Amino acid sequence: MYEQGMLHGTRTSTSAKRLIFFDIDGTLLDYNKRIPTSSRQAIYELKAAGHEIVLATGRSPFMLQAVAAELEIHSYVGFNGQYVVLNDQLVYANPHLTDELSRLAAVAEQSGHALVYLDHETMRASQAYDPYVEECMGSLKYPHPEYDPDFYHQRSIYQSMLFCPEHEEGQYRERFTSLQFVRWHPYSLDVLPGGGSKANGIKQLLHYMQYDPREAYAFGDNLNDMEMLQYIGNSVAMGNSPEAVKQHAKYVTTDVDKDGIANGLRMVGLLP
């Protein structure tokens, strides 16, 4: 556990610095995994105005660095809330229990389902090749991970990916009630430690910063964003979000490729 309260007194008045969380895929990145020009300009304007920008994503730190570098962002809530960094310093981490991953791996192997294990630096797959892994990782512009079924014994694993269609996921939810399963692709779910979510990671960061969630802002588009959008006072769902996600947000902006970020920031009064 990290020491709390080190950043007490760093906030400015409510008329100045705001804390704004942005999901990456489908929110900052468009369907081609590029940052729209209007979104990039909007982020630069927020930073110039003194606002604090935080990425909030299901991605591992090594998978978000390109976006962070392009936008010069140094704070993030990664692994759907399991790994939180503020100004390049780790302030919260919540890894999987190794014994629990062993039980999950055994059931997945019996069922013919692949797993991918992620730490903060890299990832490895439980199978040498799986078509679902290739398709899902390809949608993120990543190749099939290298094969290492024992990877989780050697590293702190903050998130796993389980690869199976929706009609085959029920057994995992029934047998592993202490884990969180969040579907992000028709063939894949993120697997989080019990109680893990973006909302919880954000809660840890806000507590560390002594910041009121009612005064924060959040943008997201997918099922793993719902708790975040519900928790943050000024939440914005992208126009390309499923209806279930939109229902959890205070505002709904346009699609990611239709100036969704810039329009949403104008909607909440953070841009003119």
Question: pTM of this prediction?
Answer: 0.88
- 119 and 249, same domain (yes or no): no
In this structure, what CATH number is given to the domain that contains residue 117? 3.30.1240.10
Can you point out the beta strands (E) in 9-122? Answer: 19-22, 52-56, 76-78, 83-86, 89-93, 114-118
- Determine the structural domain holding residue 178 and report its residue range: 98-192
Task: Look at residue 243 in the predicted model and tell me its pLDDT.
Answer: 96
Assigned domain for 236 exists: yes
Lowest mean pLDDT segment, chosen from 35-44, 112-121, 127-136, 191-200: 191-200
Specify whether 23 is catalytic.
yes
- Do the domain assignments include residue 14? no
Catalytic, out of 23, 25, 130, 221: 23
- At 226, is the pLDDT very low, low, confident or very high (cuts 50, 70, 90)? very high
Mean local confidence (pLDDT), 204-225: 96
pLDDT tens-digit readout, 175-190: 999 999 999 999 999 9
Rg (CA), the chain: 18
Percent above pLDDT 90 for the chain? 91
Tell me the torsion sign for CA atoms 35, 39, 44, 49.
negative
Q: Is residue 253 part of a domain?
A: yes
Q: What residue has token string 């903060």?
A: 120
